Amino acid sequence: MRIITDVFRYCAENLPRWNTISISGYHIREAGSTAVQEVAFTLSNAIAYVQAAIDAGLNVDTFAGQLSFFFNSHNNLFEEVAKFRAARRMWAHIMRERFHAQDPRSLGGKILRLDKDGAAPSDDPLPGSPVFSLGHRNVEGIAWQPDTKALYETEHGPSGSFPECCHDEVNLITAGANYGWPTVRGIAKDPRFRDPLLESGPTDTWAPSGGTFAAHPGPLRGSLLFATLRGVHLHRVVFGPDGRAVAFEERLLENRFGRLRDVFELPSGDFLVLTSNRDGRGNPTRDDDRILLVTLR
Ligand SMILES: [Ca+2]
């Protein structure tokens, strides 16, 4: 990954018309895969190359146009024609929707707002577009503050190795604002972008997931609670009167139930917390996955 990312960077600057890589499905098919598996493995490899380069700070438009593919051609004509057409369309779709967080015409890396009939509301920030905010890497949880009705969001930062890692974010979402990905990550103090209210920093990862505000009357009301996967805890944040400054935060249920996926408040003021230990990344116990009934005092 390091060497191909370096090749992308060098060629983008010095050999912009050179095809930097031939992403191969040929050997996968020759080794016994089906046509469907050939496309699936090849495109997933291609996505990994593109993501590694973006995580290393490259602008996708400077290198993605020079990626080429190398597929096998078996003798079932109709299946092979369908395979090539499907692979071409899928790749175009993936590149358009997944890797253009800063392009307002793309739906990738955005929070969208739609009416129930699927149309964009007339007061969305871009006329005729469902894009509500942009520059997000991986939105995981959204929650509305019960008093101000403001929208908050959790998202994962980059997943590479240091320094291209960590920087998980909690953002206050406002219409039309740009949250920086992939140009900046975490609190960047760059006037072009909106900084997160809090982030996990350059070395720590929460992998924040679903979140909710405590709305039941009582001492917790107004706290933002969000589940964390890698962080294996339930994160509680209390914001100051402006809804932005972090007044207090704490880690609940830490290392007790493994990876936590989501949190939901019941009308009683208790919470349901969902574990996520059987997604291939946890260490499941015999009774995972579980929905925990949690009382916070
Ligand atoms: Ca950001």
pLDDT, tens digit (0-9, with 9 covering 90-100), for 14-52? 999 999 999 999 999 999 999 999 999 999 999 999 999
- Over 80: is that where the pLDDT of 162 sits? no
Q: What is the mean pLDDT of the chain?
A: 94
| Spans of all domains in the chain | 2-98
CA 198-199-203 angle, 5° bins: 150
Q: How much of the chain exceeds pLDDT 90, in percent?
A: 85
Rg (CA), the chain: 22
Higher pLDDT, 160 or 290: 290
Tokens of 172: 């206050």
Q: Residue 56 Cα, ligand 1 centroid: separation in angstroms?
A: 16
DSSP 207-266: -EEEEEE--SSSTTTT-EEEEESTT-SEEEEEE-TTS-SEEEEEEESTTTSS-EEEEEE-
Q: Residue 286 Cα, ligand 1 centroid: separation in angstroms?
A: 38
Higher pLDDT, 97 or 4: 4
Tokens of 282: 């946890």
Q: Residue 45 Cα, ligand 1 centroid: separation in angstroms?
A: 26
pLDDT, tens digit (0-9, with 9 covering 90-100), for 64-91? 989 999 999 999 999 999 999 999 999 9
One-letter amino acid of 295: T
Q: How far apart are the first and last CA of the chain?
A: 47
Conformational region of residue 225, where left means phi above 0, alpha means psi within -120 to 50, and beta covers everything else: beta
Higher pLDDT, 58 or 245: 245
Q: Residue 47 Cα, ligand 1 centroid: separation in angstroms?
A: 21
Q: Residue 230 Cα, ligand 1 centroid: separation in angstroms?
A: 19
CA 51-55-56 angle, 5° bins: 120
Tokens of 156: 């994962």
- Residue 295: which of 256, 269, 257 has the closest Cα? 269
- The strand pair at 67-70 and 21-24 is best described as parallel
What are the CA-CA distances from residue 171 to residues 133, 150, 207 (Å)? 11, 11, 14
For 151-170, b where at least 16 C-beta lie within 10 A, e where not — what string?
A: bbbbbbbbbbeeebbbbbbb
Q: How far apart are the C-alpha atoms of 71 and 38, rounded to whole Å?
A: 8
How confident is the model at residue 158, as a pLDDT? 87
Q: Residue 188 Cα, ligand 1 centroid: separation in angstroms?
A: 8
Q: Residue 262 Cα, ligand 1 centroid: separation in angstroms?
A: 21
Residues 6+ apart with CB under 8 A from 20: 4, 7, 8, 11, 63, 66, 67
**Are the C-beta atoms of 70 and 61 separated by less than 8 Å?**
no
Task: Give the pLDDT band of residue 133 (cuts 50, 70, 90).
Answer: very high
pLDDT, tens digit (0-9, with 9 covering 90-100), for 197-252? 999 999 999 999 999 999 999 999 999 999 999 999 999 999 999 999 999 999 99
Task: Give the pLDDT band of residue 12 (cuts 50, 70, 90).
Answer: very high
